[in-house]
Structure 1
Amino acid sequence: MLLPSAYAAFRQVLSPELRGLFWRTLGFTLLLIGLLWYGLTQLLAYIVTAHPVSADYPVVNTALVFLAGAGLLVGLFYILPVTSALVAGFFLDEAALAVERTDFPADPPGQPISLGKSIAYGLRFAGLALLVNLAALMLILVPGVNIFAFFAANAYLLSREYFEMAAGRFRPMAEAARLRRENRGTILAAGAILAGLVLIPIVNLLIPLFGIAFMVHLHKRIAARRLPAL
């Protein structure tokens, strides 16, 4: 169930049917990361200008801002799941519908979640992911523990939120959450795959679209397994 769903999602992300959506989700993800990096570096520059480390050697302050900006690129790696959540919330219905029409043409499509509701859901996910990943970032100086904490936290978060967003097109959110809990082992393993991809540079930029496609397939398989045999 897990590997066929993952394979189908990878195939679909790179398919001609989703190519346009792929470039839009990728562009939006890079835009959010770029805006966040720019805002934080400007804030740092303002702080250093207002409270310079060395009034006599301005080059020291410039170097500090540069090094801090470079360090922020590493820090942004830890909050990629946050931007992923926002992007997924924005493109949820379009991506899920494309997957359903392509790979499940005989099944009725899911009911679209309103844009406002899906973005609000994405913002809730993003806020939770931000808190969890900031906590993991605080462990950055503890070898081994930091990566494990980052991986475990995001395996849970990504599995929970992506599955419930996909399942929520076919059932009330409370029922989607109950279905996730009933299949927590399988869905958590799916989250571990997503969390593992987050650790791979460049590939991690595919998470929003891949995560939606992956969980649409997984939900379809789980739902079919629950149906009584005829």
Structure 2
Amino acid sequence: MIRALVLAFAQLSDPRVRRVVWIGVLASILAYLLLAGGVWWILAVTPMTGYGWLDGIIDVMGGLGILVLAWLLFPATVGTVSSFFLDEVVERVEARHYPALPAPRHVGWIEELATALRFLLLVLAINLAALPLYIFAPGLNLAVFYTVNGYLLGREYFEMVAHRRLGRGEARALRRARPLKPFLAGVAIAFLSTIPFVNLLVPVVASAFMVHVLQSMSAPLAAGRTTVIRR
């Protein structure tokens, strides 16, 4: 598992992989600049109370609120933007470390979009349900956070990578048959997501990481499909 993570970070030496990182970061910066500029303009031209001094305070507080919100949500936005380019990251990892693999199955953009939306809704729902524990259970909240998000991230990144080689049902069956590796990989991804600046690399590193995790597992596949390598 540690070796797989080291190999995933080493994949950042690939210029095409770094390109995906920069696309996610720069697109997210642009989105937040447009959002912040729009909200600031609305606050500046719209008198909220009719009292100049109070409207000035509201403008300042609103601007600070936007900056805080941008800081908190920026990694998630980077991940969302990057998710549309992660297939290229997986291709580069496979080409570098598993060149004998045949061509993957085609995954349409509708399937990719549906997977991304399902993942986003699931993460929001489960984390909102766990919110009372995050707030009112110091100490326990960290364990809950890493357990919940480790499961979610491990499952979704694993299935995203596995769907290139397996059908949806086969990928799910493989994960359920050997759940420990995807879960531990998910916990590692969740931990990296809490480290400032490193979290900007997480979508790319996690995708590369999960390719190695998948290849370390065994899956009997239907005839005509590739066999996952046992390492």
Question: Is TM (by shorter chain) over 0.5?
Answer: yes
Whether the 8 Å CA contact 1:197–1:203 is kept in 2: the answer is: yes
Once the two structures are overlaid, the 10-residue window that deviates more, 110-119 or 155-164, is: 110-119
* Alpha-carbon distance between aligned partners in 1 of 2:139 and 2:40, rounded to the nearest angstrom: 29
* Alpha-carbon distance between aligned partners in 2 of 1:151 and 1:107, rounded to the nearest angstrom: 33
The corresponding residue for 2:59 is 62
Once the two structures are overlaid, the 10-residue window that deviates more, 36-45 or 148-157, is: 36-45
* 1:196-211 to 2 correspondences below 5 Å: 196-211=191-206
Cα deviation 1:27-47 (Å, max 9, x = unaligned): 224423652575377458747
The corresponding residue for 2:148 is 153
* 1:2-151 to 2 correspondences below 5 Å: 2-12=1-11, 14-15=12-13, 18-32=14-28, 34-36=30-32, 38-39=34-35, 42-43=38-39, 46=42, 52=48, 55-57=51-53, 58-76=55-73, 80-81=75-76, 83-88=78-83, 90-133=84-127, 141-142=135-136, 143-144=138-139, 147-151=142-146
TM-score w.r.t. length of structure 1: 0.79
Structural RMSD (CA): 3.3
* Alpha-carbon distance between aligned partners in 1 of 2:144 and 2:86, rounded to the nearest angstrom: 27
Q: 3-state SS of the aligned residue for 2:216?
A: helix
The corresponding residue for 2:224 is none
C-alpha displacement of 1:127: 2.8
Cα deviation 1:75-132 (Å, max 9, x = unaligned): 316xx346425522x1232221211111011222422312332233222222323444
Whether the 8 Å CA contact 2:25–2:78 is kept in 1: the answer is: yes
Alignment size in residue pairs: 222
Cα deviation 1:122-155 (Å, max 9, x = unaligned): 2222232344445566766544455444433321
* Runs of at least 5 residues in structure 1 that lack an aligned partner in the other structure: none
Once the two structures are overlaid, the 10-residue window that deviates more, 154-163 or 31-40, is: 31-40
Whether the 8 Å CA contact 2:20–2:204 is kept in 1: the answer is: no
* Alpha-carbon distance between aligned partners in 1 of 2:165 and 2:48, rounded to the nearest angstrom: 56
Out of 194, 198, 215, which is 2:189 matched to? 194
Whether the 8 Å CA contact 1:139–1:145 is kept in 2: the answer is: yes
Whether the 8 Å CA contact 1:164–1:176 is kept in 2: the answer is: yes
Cα deviation 1:150-169 (Å, max 9, x = unaligned): 43332121101100011111
- State yes or no: 1:221 paired with 2:216: yes
TM-score w.r.t. length of structure 2: 0.79
Q: 3-state SS of the aligned residue for 1:222?
A: coil
Whether the 8 Å CA contact 1:112–1:169 is kept in 2: the answer is: yes
